[in-house]
Copies of this chain bind each other. A is one copy, B any other.
């Protein structure tokens, strides 16, 4: 089949552009292939994990995560403590500021501004989050898995755009195996009384989810613990049928975040014939395009409307 140079016309839809990119090369083609796999996952009624590492919420990706949950594109979210904390910030209306990666960090420190590359968050946002979280934490007792804890958070959030709230509404579990590795983790440490967050309960539940009699899929954004925690849950089951990975890491550094999906087949985390593709791209660009494609092209979903 020939490489086909896209003929882009005025007013082209994002989804049609992604479709065209599937006939080009390099990461444009990979993006096009990822989009088709995502579409197939949805149309086959697969159980889809979305794993999100990296500062995706500060970077403005929360409504895309929320949209994927709302539209039924994903069945389960696995993310980091940081994304949870910053989503709470957004949900409480505190948000994040557009900043500069070239700022003077000592000046920022003096102004009580914390920097995440080109995004700023004020110290006082964390104080408001602390008020909110300390309240929730002090209300809870006993052993919680992280997703049960995050549902407790989600049901207390009023913001309808919050993916934590949407996840609670739709009973989509949100796993956060690194909750303690975040400011929320500091708050749990300080304010808990008899609350235990037992991450081995999470492991158990993740394994259960992997044993369903459905097509199983995973959309991996950025590697890290969310990627490994999800793939390892499949070690005892049959392997994923579909896998899409968006990463800026490279295989040749040898780490898990950059590891190929082929490598995952040696571990039987993916089925031998799994449909799998890695897109090497900043997820802030690739994920919105993928979402726009799924919105427009997923037949099953459109027929629901």
Given A25-B98, A203-B189: A181 and B228 interface contact (C-beta under 8 Å): yes
* A282-B280 in contact (CB<8A): yes
Total residues of chain A contacting the partner, CB 8 A? 117
Task: Tell me, yes or no, whether A114 is within 8 Å of chain B by CB.
Answer: yes
CB-contact partner of A177 in B82, B97, B116, B178, under 8 A: B178
User: Taking chain A's interface residues, is the majority helix, strand, or loop, or is none over half, making it mixed?
Assistant: mixed
Q: Mark A46-72, 1 if CB is under 8 A from B, else 0.
A: 000000011100111111100100000
* Complex interface bits, A148-179 against B, C-beta within 8 A gives 1, otherwise 0: 00000000000001000000000000000110
Asked whether any CB of chain B lies closer than 8 Å to the CB of A182, the reply is yes
Q: Are A29 and B222 in contact (CB under 8 A)?
A: no
In the assembled complex, A96 has its CB within 8 A of some CB on chain B:
yes
- The stretch from A5-13, A37-45, A128-136, A212-220 touching chain B is A5-13
How far is B57's CA from A255's CA once the two chains are assembled, in angstroms? 11
Per-residue contact bits, chain A 1-42, to B (CB 8 Å; 1 contact, 0 not) = 111111111111111010011011111110100000000000
Q: Give the contacting residue for A24; candidates B7, B60, B106; CB below 8 A.
A: B60
- Cα-based distance from A10 to B183 in the complex (angstroms): 36
> Is A299 an interface residue when CB atoms closer than 8 A count as contact?
no
As a 0/1 sequence over residues 267 to 284 of chain A, the CB contacts with chain B under 8 angstroms (1 = contact) are 110001000001011101
Of the listed residues A13, A20, A60, the one surrounded by the most CB atoms of chain B closer than 10 A to its CB is A60
Q: Are A101 and B255 in contact (CB under 8 A)?
A: no
Measuring CB to CB, which residues of chain A are less than 8 angstroms from any residue of chain B?
Answer: 1-15, 17, 20-21, 23-29, 31, 53-55, 58-64, 67, 82, 90, 95-98, 101-103, 105-106, 108-109, 113-119, 161, 177-178, 180-183, 185-186, 188-189, 192, 196-200, 202-204, 207, 222, 224-225, 228-229, 232, 235-236, 248-257, 259, 262-263, 265-268, 272, 278, 280-282, 284-286, 288-289, 291-292, 295-296
